[in-house]
Structure 1
Amino acid sequence: MVSLARTIRNLRRVGFREWWRQMQYIGDAKSGRFVGSDQFNNRYYENMNAEEEIPGRQRWVDFSQHEYNASQVPPEWHSWLQHIRKDAPPQDPIFAKVSPPWKAPHIENLTGTRGAYKPYNTVKPKISAWEPQVKARA
């Protein structure tokens, strides 16, 4: 439950412009500690004050693009957002040590866009479409 006092407190902390942006994008006024950003310039925040945040909603992402979706969050940041990992990727010693050479760079899901994968078929169709025969009238 979002209280009016909490909303006003966060408005004072982040300023009117950022407060208005948050209300438009995430529908809630939040303030917290900046944790880091990813290769897509998405910014990640955390507020562990139990009196201010709803349990499970202490971590959030501020997307850099206006048209955003969840597939724009890389897997290491996703595990931090979902409380699978305690430490964020910049502070996590495991992520600092391990960088597998086989790991490809993360790309978002392009389904429904011009960049989506479209397979092509080289097999002749079993049923051919009807093509009308046009004859001249007498």
Structure 2
Amino acid sequence: MVGIIRYIRNIRRSGLKQWWRNMQYIGDAKYGALKGTDEFGNRYFENLDPEDEVPGRHRWVDYAQHEYHASQVPPEWHSWLHHIRKDPPTEDPVMQNLSPAWKSHWVENLTGTRGAFKTYNTAAPKMTAWEPKVANRSGSLQ
């Protein structure tokens, strides 16, 4: 009964459109405070109300892409989601001053996609396949 009340309360708070999106992407009716957005457009939420969320499930990410996976979360947001850091990167002064100007942008893991890194060899092969050579016969049989 408590689960149904929580479910209906979160539908009222988030609205029908957001509820439907949450059901399609995360499979639960969640509602929380927006803590920030990363460079990919992923949105990060937190709900500290013990009546609404189970401890350990009170931080979550709403992915911007339909085909999503965990490597689309940058390291600074990953550390906040998994309780390595208390404050989100948007509020943590250490995280804001940590990234040097020369640091490249985070790129998701592209393994298994067309954008995956593929090595190639520039050295000549040590073994080659046998190619038969056809020679003309000088004599003919009659």
TM-score, normalised relative to structure 1 = 0.88
The aligned residue for residue 69 of structure 2 is 69
Cα shift at 1:122: 2.1
The aligned residue for residue 38 of structure 1 is 38
Which ranges in structure 1 are unaligned for 5 or more consecutive residues?
Answer: none
Q: Structure 2: which amino acid aligns with 1:85?
A: R
The aligned residue for residue 13 of structure 2 is 13
Q: Match of 1:114, SS?
A: coil
Which ranges in structure 2 are unaligned for 5 or more consecutive residues?
Answer: 135-142
In the alignment, structure 1 residue 104 sits paired with structure 2 residue 109: no
Q: Structure 2: which amino acid aligns with 1:122?
A: T
**Aligned counterparts of 1:99 and 1:39: Cα–Cα separation in 2:** 14
The aligned residue for residue 60 of structure 2 is 60
- Residues paired across the two proteins, number: 134
TM-score, normalised relative to structure 2 = 0.85
User: Which aligned pairs between 1:79-90 and structure 2 lie closer than 5 A?
Assistant: 79-90=79-90
Structure 1 residue ranges, 4+ long, deviating more than 4 angstroms after superposition: 130-134
Q: CA RMSD in A?
A: 1.9
Cα shift at 1:133: 7.3
Cα distance change on mapping 1:130 and 1:85 into 2, 3 Å: same
Deviates more, 1:115-124 or 1:64-73: 115-124
Q: Percent identity?
A: 64
Q: Match of 1:3, SS?
A: helix
Cα shift at 1:66: 0.7
